[in-house]
Amino acid sequence: MAALIYQIFSSSALISMGLYHLISTTRNHIKSPRDYFAKPYHPLSASSSSSSSSSSRLKHLQLYLVIICLLIAFVHQTLISTDSDPLLKGRTPVHRFTSLQSAGVLFLFLILSLSLLISDSTSLLPFPPDLFFGLASAIFFLQYSISSTAASLQTSDLQAKCDSVSARISALSALLCLSLACHPRLFVADLALGASLCLQGLWVLQTGLSLYVDAFIPEGCHKLLDVVRGVDGSTKCDLDDSKLRAVAILDLMFVIHVVFVVLVVMLTYAVVAKTVGIRRFGSYEALPTVASAAAADSNHIQMKAMTGTQA
C-alpha cells in the first residue's frame, strides 16, 4: 500500500511539473517568439494589484514545491533501501542497491534545484540556464543508466519492463536537456521536455497500478506472497504465455500514454494561444493588388509632375 501511495505521489508531482512547464513555455513563446529562450523554471507572476511582498513570495513557489517533493522522494528511497524483504534471486537484496542508486539521483536533482534557487534569489551562485540544462541532461542520463541496470537485475518481468520503459523516457529527457543547453531558443525541445515529464508521470502511475493493484495486474501474473511489503520485483508471471501477454499489454499502455500526452500538448497550445492571442503563421505583409499598384503609380507620376512644375 505504501508503495502505491508513493507511486501516486511521484506521478502527481511529475505530471503537475510537466503541465506547468508546457503552459509557461507556450505562453512565453506566443507572447514574444523572437525573444524566446528556454528557462530552467518559470516564476509565478502575481497580479498588478498585489503587494510586492506577496509577489516575491510567489516568485519561487515552483522551486519550493519541487524541492519539497524531491526531499520526500529522497527520504522514501533511502528508507526502503533498509527493507529486510529480499528478492528471490539468490541471497542478495538487489532492491537495496537500486533504491540507494535512485536516492542518489534524487539527491543530485535536489542539489540542482537548490542551486537554482540560490542563484535566482541571491548573487552568491551565478547559474546560467545552459549550465543548468547541461547538468540536468547528465543527471537524466544517470537515471537512464540506473533504470536500465535495474531492469536487467529484476526477477519480475513486469518490473523489468516498467524499468526499461522508464529508462527510455529518461534518455529522451536527457537528450532534450542537452539540446536546450546547446540551442536555448529551440522551442520544440523545450515543449517536448514538458511532455516527457508528463509521460514519465503517467508511466510511474501505470507502474504502480500494474505492480501493486490486483485489479490491474495482467491475467496469469500475481504478487509474491513472501515479499510482504511489495518491494520491487514482487509481481511475477509463472508461464511464458502470461509473461508475453503482460509485456504486450504494457507496450500497448505505453502507446496509449504517448497518444494522450500528444493530445494534451496540442490542447494546451490551443488553449494558451486562444487565451494569450496568437498571430497567423508567417505574419507576412499583404501583397499589393493591381488597383493598389496602379494607384501608387499614379501618385508617383503626380508627384513627379508637381516637382517638374515647381522647378
The pLDDT, as a whole number, for residue 256 is 96
Residues in the chain: 311
**Which of these ranges, 49-63, 140-154, 214-228, 284-298, has the smallest mean pLDDT?**
284-298
Domain boundaries, the chain: 2-310
The pLDDT, as a whole number, for residue 218 is 83
The pLDDT, as a whole number, for residue 4 is 82
Average pLDDT score over residue span 135-149: 93
**Which of these ranges, 170-179, 192-201, 241-250, 271-280, has the smallest mean pLDDT?**
271-280
pLDDT bucket at 95, cuts 50 / 70 / 90: low
pLDDT bucket at 50, cuts 50 / 70 / 90: very low
Report d(CA 36, CA 69) in Å as an integer.
29
Report d(CA 202, CA 272) in Å as an integer.
22
pLDDT digits (tens, 9 = 90+) for 234-264: 677 878 788 889 889 999 999 999 999 999 9
pTM of the model: 0.82
SS3 223: strand
- Of 152, 242, 257, 149, nearest to 196 by C-alpha is 257
Report d(CA 162, CA 154) in Å as an integer.
10
**For cell 535536489, what's the residue?**
110
Is residue 236 within 8 Å of 157, Cβ to Cβ?
yes
Amino acid at 44: L
At 72, which helix (H) or strand (E)? helix 61-80
Amino acid at 178: L
